[in-house]
Structure 1
Amino acid sequence: MADIDSNLRAIMGSVDGSIGVALVDYTSGMALGTVDGGAGLDLTVAAAGNTDVVRAKLRTMEMLGLNENIEDILITLGSQYHLIRPLTGRGGKGLFLYLALDKRRANLAMARHQLAKIESDLEV
């Protein structure tokens, strides 16, 4: 768990505007690790809810016959961005990174780029 926690803390420290991050198992909806940036976001609730989002998108892609991988899913709120990035590397099957960002402080393009880089380097 220490490796997961240190990786999540690294994400919080390297992505401007981060308010919370979680590593989530979308087969169970459980958060394997969370780091709250002090915004009071309940990351365990977010993990469970966003599991439904990932599952729904995967089902829809299957019904459409799309043989693609999800790079990320973006949910835009009035004051926040929520990024969901399924892990594609070895050992990451069934897992996704969830990152909540303060819209006023975050650069969305840079956050997506940094999350992709972190995901490629992440060892679970």
Structure 2
Amino acid sequence: MAGMDVSLKEMMGIDGTIGAAIVDHGSGMALGTLGGSKELDLQVAAAGNTEVMKAKLRTMDSLGLKDGIEDILITLTAQYHIIRPITGRSGKGLFLYLALDRNRANLALARHMLKVIEEKLEL
């Protein structure tokens, strides 16, 4: 099992990572961040992606979907953004957020690595 600091470091170790966060989608607050830049404020990204997460959950509820979200992928011209809900008991209401440089990242590998990190995370 890995704690928040270890998990954030592992997320930053994924090729092409620009920034990583663990976010409470109830409040929109980032519980922990690593990386980021002047162009990528991880606190703002945490709050904004909380709204994305809430909107998807509301839509699924409205549609009567009983499925779970594995991850949400947002593709930009220069970046990939991945939102991955934490499914373990200790992580309910939290999600991992990963921003990647599209030119340096391998999306399939990043998604796989994020899943492995999420499974090991213990909060």
TM-score range normalised by the length of the shorter chain: over 0.9
Structure 2: segments with no counterpart, 5+ residues = none
Asked whether the 8 Å contact 2:36–2:42 carries over to 1, the reply is no
TM-score normalised according to structure 2 size? 0.94
Asked whether the 8 Å contact 2:86–2:94 carries over to 1, the reply is yes
Structure 1: segments with no counterpart, 5+ residues = none
Asked whether the 8 Å contact 1:18–1:37 carries over to 2, the reply is no
Deviation at 1:10, TM superposition (A): 1.7
Distance 1:39 1:18 in 2: 15
State the one-letter code of the partner of 2:119: S
- Greater mean alpha carbon deviation, residues 38-47 or residues 70-79: 38-47
User: Is 1:117 equivalent to 2:110 in the alignment?
Assistant: no
Distance 1:79 1:23 in 2: 22
Three-state SS of the structure 1 residue aligned to 2:90 is coil
State the one-letter code of the partner of 1:12: M
Match of 2:105 in 1: 106
* Structure with more relative contact order (C-alpha pairs < 8 Å, separation 6 or more): 2
What root-mean-square deviation, in Å, do the aligned CA atoms of Structure 1 and Structure 2 show? 1.2
State the one-letter code of the partner of 2:83: I
Deviation at 1:5, TM superposition (A): 2.2
Asked whether the 8 Å contact 2:17–2:100 carries over to 1, the reply is yes
Describe the superposition over 1:31-76 as per-residue Cα deviations: whole angstroms up to 9, x where unpaired.
Answer: 0000015574100000000000000000000000000110000000
Say how many residue pairs are matched: 121
Distance 2:89 2:45 in 1: 25
State the one-letter code of the partner of 1:5: D
Asked whether the 8 Å contact 1:19–1:39 carries over to 2, the reply is no
Percent sequence identity over aligned pairs: 66
Asked whether the 8 Å contact 2:83–2:97 carries over to 1, the reply is yes
Match of 2:25 in 1: 26
Match of 2:43 in 1: 44
Structure 1 pair 6/40, CA: closer, same or farther in 2 (3 Å)? farther
Match of 1:97 in 2: 96
**4+ residue runs of structure 1 moved beyond 3 angstroms?**
37-40
TM-score normalised according to structure 1 size? 0.93
